[in-house]
Amino acid sequence: MKKHIALVPGDGIGVDIVGEAVKVLDRIQEKFGHEFTYSTYLAGGCAIDATGKPLPEETLKGCAESDSIILGAVGGPKWDKLPSEIRPEKALLGLRGELGLFCNLRPAIIYKQLSEACPLKPEIVGDGLDIMVVRELTGGIYFGERGRDENSAYDTMRYTVAEIERIVRKGFEIAQKRTKRMCSVDKANILNSSQLWREIVERLAPEYPDVSVSHLYVDNAAMQLIRNPRQFDVIVTGNLFGDILSDEASQITGSIGMLPSASLREDSFGMYEPIHGSAPDIAGKNIANPIATILSVGMMLRYTFGLTAEADAVEEAVSKVLDASYRTADIYSEGMKLVGTKEMGDLIAQAL
């Protein structure tokens, strides 16, 4: 298979970890006989410094013309004081919005090798946790009308029927491939947009009779994630609630440096990135954990290219290296073998 991949390392450790993802892709193409080519583009703070814009046209065009995108992370204290229209985060929203990447998959998994890192009591997590947050990514309050005057400011949460239907259907389809439980999260006791959301989930449910559906208000969902996370399999929710709950879910796994994500369009074109941020304090020091980005490569092979054996191979290679006790600093515990970013990338490529 011939594929052209857009690399958008971004800022901070983004540069360190995307390099390791490429190492793994290169090994995959060798081993399975594919041909991957790459172009690298600026986005975020580095793009502001170079061009004055967080998302230069060249980046957007290059990404749109690629077969898939791998993104590192954007942002850092250097750009925090800029007005929101030209902050690094705008690059992310621009890519998501312009490319129509409405379906954001954020798995929260406890790796058995890292189970002590989970901050919850063992009796609460039992023998593990495997939650998939399905977050709507191109609508809601992030993209609604907004404004500001001297004495007030506002943002609007608007969802169309079509926007809700397509993400809820994704939630159902993903639940069908897992344990067939889907929890829809909203704030239907207060918000009109959530009432519409809930009505649509109820209306579509009979089309997926094998999936059992529940509804939770977002405040309760936040509480239940800590109280009894094992009740969840697929969580489907809007943009803002999904942003917050996916961070919460990732934290209860105890290893945010391990978690990948996918942002997909209807036709399975996608952008893949780690859940964690740009960690500017450790950038360029060869200590960041590249595994979340490497697992994002695995998701890309699976969801956009349909290369299941290759995706399985990436996940198995990561598991093997963890089994052999290699750890980057963020997941290190006593008795383990401490390695840097590049060594971790090399080890995973070798395990492949």
Residues 93-132 that bind ligand IPM (CB under 6 A): 93
Contacts of 211 (CB under 8 A, 6+ apart): 172, 175, 176, 180, 181, 182, 205
From 39-47, 77-85, 235-243, 302-310, give the range in contact with Mg ion by CB under 5 A.
235-243
- Catalytic (active-site) positions: 142, 187, 219, 243, 247
Number of residues that bind ligand IPM (CB under 6 A): 4
Structural contact between residues 126 and 105, judged by C-beta atoms closer than 8 angstroms: no
Q: Judged by CB under 6 A, does residue 155 bind ligand IPM?
A: no
Sign of CA dihedral 303, 309, 314, 315: positive
**Residue 252, token pair as written in the block:** 């209860």
Q: Please choose, out of 35-43, 53-61, 85-93, 189-197, the segment that lies near ligand IPM by the rule CB under 6 A.
A: 85-93
**Distance from C-alpha of 91 to C-alpha of 76, rounded to nearest angstrom:** 13
Stretch in the footprint of ligand IPM (CB under 6 A) among 61-69, 86-94, 177-185, 324-332: 86-94
89 lies in the binding site for ligand IPM (CB under 6 A): yes
Say whether residue 288 binds ligand IPM (CB under 6 A): no
Residue 338 to residue 225: CA distance in whole angstroms: 31
Q: How many residues does the chain have?
A: 352
Binding status of residue 136 toward ligand IPM by CB under 6 A? no
Type of residue numbered 166: R
Residue 243 as a binder of Mg ion (CB under 5 A): the answer is yes
* 3-state SS, one letter per residue, for 47-99: HHHHHCCCCCHHHHHHHHHCCEEEEEECCCHHHCCCCHHHCCHHHHHHHHHHH
Residue 92: contacted member of Mg ion, ligand IPM, none (CB under 5 to 8 Å, by partner type): ligand IPM
For residues 199-258, which are near ligand IPM according to CB under 6 A? Answer: 243
Nearest-10 crossing angle of helices 192-204, 161-176: 50
Residue found by looking up tokens 């001297």 in the block: 150
Nearer to ligand IPM, 92 or 339 (CB): 92
- Position with the least CB separation from Mg ion: 243
Angle, alpha carbons 266-242-192 (nearest 5°): 90
Minimum separation from the CB atom of position 324 to Mg ion (A): 32
Q: For Mg ion, give the closer residue by CB, 27 or 276.
A: 276
Residue 204, Cα to own-chain centre: how many angstroms?
26
In the bound state with ligand IPM, the residue whose beta carbon lies nearer, of 89 and 155, is 89
Nearest CB to ligand IPM, comparing residues 20 and 243: 243
Pick what 89 binds: ligand IPM, Mg ion, none; C-beta below 5 to 8 Å, kind-dependent.
ligand IPM
Shortest CB 97 distance to Mg ion, Å: 16
- Of 44 and 62, the one with the shorter C-beta distance to Mg ion is 44
Provide, rounded to whole angstroms, the least separation between the CB of residue 195 and Mg ion.
25
Q: Which does 18 bind (CB under 5 to 8 A by kind): ligand IPM, Mg ion, none?
A: none
20 binds ligand IPM (CB under 6 A): no
14-32 and 308-323 are packed helices; what angle lies between their axes, rounded to 10 degrees?
A: 120
50 touches 79 (CB < 8 A)? no
Strands (E), the chain: 2-10, 35-40, 68-73, 103-109, 130-136, 146-148, 153-155, 181-186, 212-217, 234-237, 260-264, 270-274, 326-327, 337-338
Report which residue's Cβ sits closest to ligand IPM: 89
Of 79 and 208, CB closest to ligand IPM: 79
Residues near ligand IPM (CB under 6 A) are 89, 92-93, 243
Residues near Mg ion (CB under 5 A) are 243
